Structure formats: structure tokens, C-alpha cells
Amino acid sequence: MKTKLTMAAVMVLLLAAITPTQAQNQRFGYVDTEYILENIPEYKDAQDELNALSTRWEKEIKAKYDQVEKMYRDYQTESVLLPEDMKRKREEEIIAKEKEAKDLQMKYFGPEGDLFNKRTELVEPIQEKVFNAIQNIAETRNYAFVFDKASGAMMLYASDKFDISDDVLDEIGNVMQTVRREDRR
């Protein structure tokens, strides 16, 4: 049986492996990637574009399913008067139309669908830019570990002085449209 190590378990193992004197020499920092992404205009633009595509595709799929529903209602109304071969033909048409709607739904929203691919195309470069900025700051400031507060890593306490989220935004070069965290305190 395979077991998955959670981020908290990995942190505990790492900290346990470091001797007390080594731990004193280590620098820790954390970021809030949710906060960082909310303050990157390109990310908001990407999310808006993805939401617009999703809405358009949902309407298109709904229209297909509405067609199937209408075909089925018409079939039920007329089936009493239809000969067996015509019933079978209409049933096959309904099934084919429903399959067409399901295939379109998978094409747009499936695991390897158009929405997934578009999200990868739009969001991945932004995430890579954030990761590179975090890595650069961590290396230049000698942080041993940088945790992500937004990812659910169990963090019982985090001093604001170790929050490097704004530094990441500065490193990326975005002008923040919101007030910096220090100014909000």
C-alpha cells in the first residue's frame, strides 16, 4: 500500500532532520500564491478569458441537449402513430444526437479538453514566472525553505516579517493595483 506524504509531514521530517544548531542558521520564508496571483493583471485577464470560453461552451452544449430533449418529446408524441422501422430510426437519431452532445462536452471540458489546454496555455507561463521569482529571491536572500501559505501547507504560525509575497510581485515586475500588505496593517 502506497502512502502519500502531505506537505506538513514533509516539513516535519525536514525539520526533524536538521539539528538545533543547523535550524538556527536556516532562513525560512513563505508566500501566499493566491495573493500574488490576484495582484498579477495577466492572471486576472487569463481567468476572465477562461470564464468567457467556459460560459460560451456551456451554452453551446446546453443547446445540443435541448435539441435532444425536443427530439425525444416529439418522438414520444408521435411514436404511437409511427411504424416500428420509423420508431427505430428516430430512436437512433436521438441517441446519435445525444452522443454528439456528450462528445462535445468531453471535447470542451474533458480531462484533456479544450478548457484544460487553454488554461495550461494561459496560466502556466504566469505560474512559471511566479515560481522563478520565488526561486530567485530564495537564492539571493539565502532562504533554506519557502512555503506556500495558500496551498494548504500546515503552518501554525507565520511571522509577517518572513512573508516575501510582495517581494515576489516586485521581482516579477508587476505594479500592484492593491495596497501593499504593510500599508494595510
What's this model's pTM, rounded to 2 decimal places? 0.69
As a whole number of angstroms, the distance between CA 67 and CA 97 comes to 8
**CATH architecture type of domain 7-42+123-184:** 2-Layer Sandwich (3.30)
Rounded to the nearest 5°, which phi and psi values hold at 158?
Answer: -145, 115
**pLDDT reported for residue 93:** 97
As a whole number of angstroms, the distance between CA 83 and CA 135 comes to 72
As a whole number of angstroms, the distance between CA 33 and CA 152 comes to 11
Tens of pLDDT along the chain (185 residues) come to: 334 445 544 454 455 554 454 555 678 888 999 999 999 999 999 999 999 999 999 999 999 999 999 999 999 999 999 999 999 999 999 999 999 999 999 999 999 999 999 999 999 999 999 989 988 898 888 888 888 888 776 554 556 777 888 888 888 885 444 445 555 54
Apex 117 CA angle, 63 and 119, nearest 5:
90
**pLDDT reported for residue 78:** 93
**pLDDT reported for residue 4:** 44
Q: For 1-113, where are the alpha helices, taking DSSP H only? A: 7-17, 20-25, 33-38, 41-78, 84-109
- Largest Cα–Cα distance in the chain? 89
Domain locations along the chain: 7-42+123-184, 46-116
Strand 145-148 versus strand 28-31 pairing type: parallel
The total of other beta-carbon atoms located within 10 Å of residue 165's CB is: 23
- Determine contact, residues 175/42, Cβ cutoff 8 Å: no
As a whole number of angstroms, the distance between CA 20 and CA 3 comes to 29
Cα 125 from chain centroid?
Answer: 13
As a whole number of angstroms, the distance between CA 74 and CA 96 comes to 16
71: Cβ contacts below 8 Å, ≥ 6 apart: 90, 93, 94, 97
Rounded to the nearest 5°, which phi and psi values hold at 83?
Answer: -70, 160
